[in-house]
């Protein structure tokens, strides 16, 4: 993976020294909060409900064991012994104190990490498919170009004060695991006549006004990608609305002006700036690609794996649920669930982080990934090592066999932590997972994505959940709205609102009615919730959710 | 007619620790039950101005509704979380209260 050059180290050391001085000036009263706030946000430091929160970028969700160990050390030393992995492949610390944050940033710099541009109206952490470099269906590893975009966008002088935040996601596979159609820019690596290039999607986003991204270009050659991105962001920077925060994202710019108008403007801007890109970026990309060379895969007999699979039902259940196809023979991609039933989605203790880092070093070519679904991935594990890996994960409470099932819930921090939230998300996720574990139903229910947001900003991606839950404040009481039929993959769709919301007490039984309704409605046991929904539409699901309405109508 | 003024406390986050604090007659407390309850709008405005000027101590000062009897209690659920801590771990104020 990419490791910092002297230039990167010097840049980060200077930024961290600047921020240390800014914190000192804030504490001694030379800076007011109004003056300090934009400076701390530039460095990923929020002030939330109960404490400061530091959001640390994990570029394209990739990290090595040393970095994971450091994240654990930081959690132990300056936080409450845990970290929260987010839907943007970041980690958040919920309890730092202001004086400690410069030391935390210095500790991160030791392992080539930082919190720059994890907030503010800038280009945020570039996200990618969490199976990148490992997936069997991959055209090419999206991480080298994601790293190039990270370098281009970090401290980009033209793009530090955009109309609003700007999120880029990259996928190198036809199966979209990076929700690229719900990003300001989504990039899909495609092959045309034997040449790799990018499909460029623009104007997707969730939040108050959810939009599926539109194709701006079907194919952009690799050497034309950065000037194309620069032209898009440049057009948005001038055209994007600054008069209304709720209309400031590029999805609204695209919606209001139309994709043809945006394309014409980007074409014009591109023609102007293209000569400035002399190919240096392609030389950099070639060096970066070398950093992401594939590990040396081993060959080993599969006897141990087969024996465990045949004899140990717990291992078999985990293997059936948490493994994905790897491109190398004998290898698997392991998803480690951070969704133990009843636990907080995305949270890992410092001990668990150390365990995962050690296991990555021992069995996984020292690579880890964070998924937008708030789990941790070991992308390269030989199947021969899976029984030992599974046993070690079990000891650390990390062997929950529920990837892609009803308890593998995305949930934003919600009102338990977030200053913007209108209701809690975490307890709803905990209760749904606990309830379906009690019922022992989740494996029978099969693939089902529940996504919960604690406010309209949709950090929990509720719009693209098969079942989406949105927490609102209705006259001083938490109220939960359900949307159905959302999808964050290559077939992206925004969920439809099912009807009136439910109180915190009513929402778990409502979800249970909905899921039991699906079990009655599905044509066969292999028809998934989403397939059944697409076949039948909202009406029968609505009837399951609101039995009183059905009774009254009868 | 203007809405009648309901009882309030001045609240904010501490600059250094970031945790929730409430104004008292003489300073700040981390315990809502110890907060000074304001029942007069003009008085509340003055207390807000006083709090907002303490830039080296506090961040994000605002007035929050309370139920004053027998001790100040939160009215809205958001203030209840601020007064106690998150619901998924026994962290925050509930650790010590």
Q: ipTM of the predicted structure?
A: 0.96
Q: From the candidates B78, B90, B97, which should be mutated to test the interface with A, based on the most A CB atoms within 10 A? A: B78
Residues of chain A contacting residue B82, judged by C-beta atoms under 8 Å apart: 49-50
Residues of chain B contacting residue A416, judged by C-beta atoms under 8 Å apart: 81, 86-88
Which of A50, A96, A424 minimises the CB distance to B85?
A50
Nearest CA in chain B to A53: B18
B81:A32 CB<8 A? no
B75:A98 CB<8 A? no
Mean pLDDT over A208-229 rounds to 97
Residues of chain A contacting residue B13, judged by C-beta atoms under 8 Å apart: 47, 51
Which of A50, A96, A476 minimises the CB distance to B82?
A50
Task: Determine the distance in angstroms separating the CA of A30 from the nearest CA of chain B, rounded to an integer.
Answer: 9
pLDDT value at B66 more than 80: yes
* DSSP label of A440: T
| Predicted confidence (pLDDT) per residue in A120-142, tens digit | 999 999 999 999 999 999 999 99
pLDDT value at A550 more than 90: no
CA distances from A176 to A130, A143, A365, A380 (A): 10, 15, 25, 20
Task: Determine the distance in angstroms separating the CA of B53 from the nearest CA of chain A, rounded to an integer.
Answer: 10
| Predicted confidence (pLDDT) per residue in A96-127, tens digit | 999 999 999 999 999 999 999 999 999 999 99
Residues of chain B contacting residue A97, judged by C-beta atoms under 8 Å apart: 16-18
**Token output for A54:** 């530091």
Q: What is the mean pLDDT of chain A?
A: 97
Which of A27, A52, A427 minimises the CB distance to B18?
A52
Residues of chain B contacting residue A344, judged by C-beta atoms under 8 Å apart: 88-89
B17:A50 CB<8 A? no
Mean pLDDT over A232-236 rounds to 98
pLDDT at A445: 98
Q: Please tell me if residue A275 touches chain B, with a CB cutoff of 8 Å.
A: no
Task: Determine the distance in angstroms separating the CA of A107 from the nearest CA of chain B, rounded to an integer.
Answer: 20
pLDDT at A424: 98
Torsion sign over Cα A145, A87, A23, A95: negative
Instruction: Answer whether A503's CB lies under 8 Å from A474's CB.
Output: no
Task: Determine the distance in angstroms separating the CA of B74 from the nearest CA of chain A, rounded to an integer.
Answer: 12
- Report how far residue A206's alpha carbon sits from residue A220's, in angstroms, rounded to the nearest whole number: 25
B55:A33 CB<8 A? yes
pLDDT value at A551 more than 90: no
| Res. A168 pLDDT band, cuts 50 70 90 | very high
Which of A28, A49, A94 minimises the CB distance to B82?
A49
A426:B88 CB<8 A? yes
pLDDT at B2: 74
A426:B17 CB<8 A? no
pLDDT at A1: 87
B15:A98 CB<8 A? yes
Looking at chain A, the whole-number percentage of residues with pLDDT higher than 90 is 99
pLDDT at A553: 59
* DSSP label of A334: E
pLDDT at B3: 82
Which of A47, A430, A477 minimises the CB distance to B18?
A47
Task: Determine the distance in angstroms separating the CA of B58 from the nearest CA of chain A, rounded to an integer.
Answer: 9
Nearest CA in chain A to B61: A33
Instruction: Answer whether A115's CB lies under 8 Å from A55's CB.
Output: yes
Report angle CA A394, A396, A398 to the nearest 5 degrees.
60
Task: Determine the distance in angstroms separating the CA of B78 from the nearest CA of chain A, rounded to an integer.
Answer: 7
| Predicted confidence (pLDDT) per residue in B8-44, tens digit | 999 999 999 999 999 999 999 999 999 999 999 999 9
| Res. A279 pLDDT band, cuts 50 70 90 | very high
Residues of chain A contacting residue B88, judged by C-beta atoms under 8 Å apart: 344, 416, 426-427, 430
| Res. B97 pLDDT band, cuts 50 70 90 | low
Nearest CA in chain A to B54: A29
| Predicted confidence (pLDDT) per residue in A358-381, tens digit | 999 999 999 999 999 999 999 999
Mean pLDDT over A411-418 rounds to 98
A416:B77 CB<8 A? no
A50:B16 CB<8 A? no
Within A49-174, strands assigned E span 52-57, 62-64, 82-85, 90-93, 127-128, 168-171
Residues sharing a CB contact under 8 Å with residue A253, sequence separation 6 or more, in sequence order: A163, A203, A236, A239, A240, A241, A262
| Res. A431 pLDDT band, cuts 50 70 90 | very high
Helix intervals (H) in B3-57: 41-52
pLDDT at A549: 73
Mean pLDDT over A239-267 rounds to 97
Q: Of the candidates A58, A34, A205, A36, which has an alpha carbon nearest to the alpha carbon of residue A125?
A: A58
List all residues of chain A from 406 to 435 with a beta carbon under 8 Å from chain B. 415-417, 424, 426-427, 430
Residues of chain B contacting residue A478, judged by C-beta atoms under 8 Å apart: 77
| Predicted confidence (pLDDT) per residue in A489-536, tens digit | 999 999 999 999 999 999 999 999 999 999 999 999 999 999 999 999
**Token output for A217:** 């270009």
CA distances from A110 to A84, A144, A384 (A): 21, 22, 34
B82:A27 CB<8 A? no
């Amino acid at each position: 993976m990419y490791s910092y050059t002297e230039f990167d180290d010097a840049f980060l050391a200077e930024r961290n020294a600047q921020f240390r001085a800014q914190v000192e000036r804030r504490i001694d009263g030379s800076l007011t909060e109004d003056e300090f706030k934009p400076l701390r946000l530039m460095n990923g430091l929020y002030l939330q409900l109960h404490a400061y929160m530091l959001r640390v970028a994990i570029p394209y969700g990739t990290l090595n064991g040393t970095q994971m160990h450091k994240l654990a050390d930081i959690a132990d030393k300056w936080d409450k012994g845990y970290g929260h992995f987010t839907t943007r492949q970041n980690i958040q610390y919920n309890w730092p104190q202001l004086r400690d944050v410069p030391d935390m940033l210095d500790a991160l710099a030791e392992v080539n990490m930082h919190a720059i541009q994890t907030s503010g109206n800038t280009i945020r952490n570039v996200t990618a498919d969490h199976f990148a470099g490992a997936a069997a269906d991959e055209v090419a590893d999206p991480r080298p170009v994601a790293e190039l975009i990270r370098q281009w966008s970090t401290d980009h002088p033209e793009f530090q004060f955009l109309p609003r935040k700007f999120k880029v996601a990259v996928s190198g596979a036809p199966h979209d695991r990076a929700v690229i159609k719900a990003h300001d820019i989504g990039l899909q690596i495609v092959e045309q006549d034997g040449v790799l290039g990018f499909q460029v999607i623009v104007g997707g986003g969730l939040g108050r006004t959810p939009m599926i991204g539109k194709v701006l270009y079907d194919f952009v050659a690799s050497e034309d990608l950065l000037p194309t991105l620069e032209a898009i962001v440049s057009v948005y920077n001038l055209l994007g609305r600054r008069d209304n925060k709720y209309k400031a994202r590029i999805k609204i710019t695209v919606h209001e002006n139309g994709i043809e108008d945006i394309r014409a403007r980007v074409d014009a801007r591109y023609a102007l700036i293209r000569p400035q890109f002399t190919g240096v970026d392609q030389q950099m990309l070639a060096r970066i690609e070398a950093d992401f060379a594939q590990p040396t895969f081993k060959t080993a007999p599969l006897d141990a794996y087969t024996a465990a699979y045949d004899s140990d039902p717990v291992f078999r259940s985990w293997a059936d649920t948490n493994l994905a196809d790897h491109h190398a023979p004998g290898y698997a991609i392991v998803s480690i669930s951070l969704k133990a039933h009843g636990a907080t989605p995305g949270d890992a203790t410092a001990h668990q982080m150390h365990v995962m880092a050690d296991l990555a070093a021992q069995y996984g070519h020292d690579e880890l990934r964070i998924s937008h679904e708030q789990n941790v991935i070991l992308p390269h594990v030989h199947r021969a090592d899976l029984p030992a890996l599974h046993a070690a994960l079990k000891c650390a409470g990390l062997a929950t066999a529920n990837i892609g099932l009803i308890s593998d819930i995305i949930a934003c921090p919600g009102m338990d932590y977030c200053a913007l939230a209108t209701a809690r998300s975490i307890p709803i996720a905990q209760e749904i997972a606990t309830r379906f574990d009690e019922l022992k139903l989740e494996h029978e229910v099969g693939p089902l994505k529940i996504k919960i947001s604690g406010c309209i900003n949709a950090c929990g991606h509720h719009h693209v959940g098969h079942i989406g839950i949105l927490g609102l404040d209705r006259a001083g009481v938490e109220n939960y709205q359900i949307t159905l039929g959302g999808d964050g993959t290559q077939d992206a769709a925004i969920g439809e609102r099912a009807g009136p919301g439910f109180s915190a007490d009513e929402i778990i039984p409502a979800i249970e009615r909905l899921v039991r309704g699906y079990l009655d409605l599905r044509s066969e046991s292999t028809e998934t919730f989403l397939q059944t929904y697409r076949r039948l539409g909202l009406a029968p699901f609505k009837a399951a959710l609101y039995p009183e309405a059905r009774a009254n109508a009868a | 007619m203007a809405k009648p003024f309901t009882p309030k406390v001045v609240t904010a986050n501490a600059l250094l620790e970031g945790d929730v604090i409430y104004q008292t007659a003489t300073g700040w407390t981390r315990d809502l039950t110890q907060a000074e309850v304001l029942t007069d709008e003009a008085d509340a405005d003055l207390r807000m101005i006083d709090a907002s000027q303490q830039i080296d101590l506090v961040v994000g000062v605002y007035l929050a509704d309370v139920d004053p009897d027998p001790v100040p209690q939160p009215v809205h659920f958001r203030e209840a979380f601020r007064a106690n801590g998150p619901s998924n771990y026994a962290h925050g104020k509930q650790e010590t209260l």
